[in-house]
Amino acid sequence: MESEVSLEKTFYTSSSIKVTNTRFIVNQKTYAMASVSSVKVGSADKTPSKSNAVIVFFVGLALFFIGIGDLKSHWLMATIGVGLLVLGIKMYRAIKPVYEYKLILTTSSGETTALSSNEESDIRAVESALNDAIVFRG
């Protein structure tokens, strides 16, 4: 029985990604490593806008001051204002930064985004493997 000699060295593998010295396979798309000249990571800020929280806060502030002006007849408006103030603050504090990281390949046909993720470490691991494959290729 003859054994096959594999000339392909694997630098990274996961469920949907494989990096070897000859190919880069991601989400069922294959890139020839011979055509990849460089790899870089880009990022985009996808953090939701905080404007709704600010609007709720200032509406609550306005209602509170209107209600406090004549508390005897507008106590409900002042109470709703306080509630909206608290809600606006909680909404504002609940918004956390969200970034999308993109793995950008420079090939003979230009730049293309090959992979994107919200986890920078995942993208950096693939970037490192691709750089190792490029260096290995020579």
- pLDDT value at position 70? 82
| Contact yes or no for 64/75 (Cβ under 8 A) | no
- pLDDT value at position 100? 95
Tokens (6 digits) for 91:
């909404």
pLDDT tens by residue, the chain, 138 residues: 444 445 788 899 988 899 998 899 998 898 888 888 899 999 999 999 999 999 999 999 999 998 888 877 888 999 999 999 999 999 999 999 999 999 999 988 889 999 999 999 999 999 999 999 989 877
| Contact yes or no for 24/33 (Cβ under 8 A) | yes
- Global pTM? 0.70
| Contact yes or no for 110/131 (Cβ under 8 A) | no
DSSP secondary structure code for residue 34 in this structure: G
- pLDDT value at position 6? 56
Considering only CA atoms, which of 95, 19, 9 is closest in space to residue 56?
95
- Rounded to the nearest 10°, the torsion over CA 41, 109, 114, 5 is -110
Tokens (6 digits) for 96:
């956390």
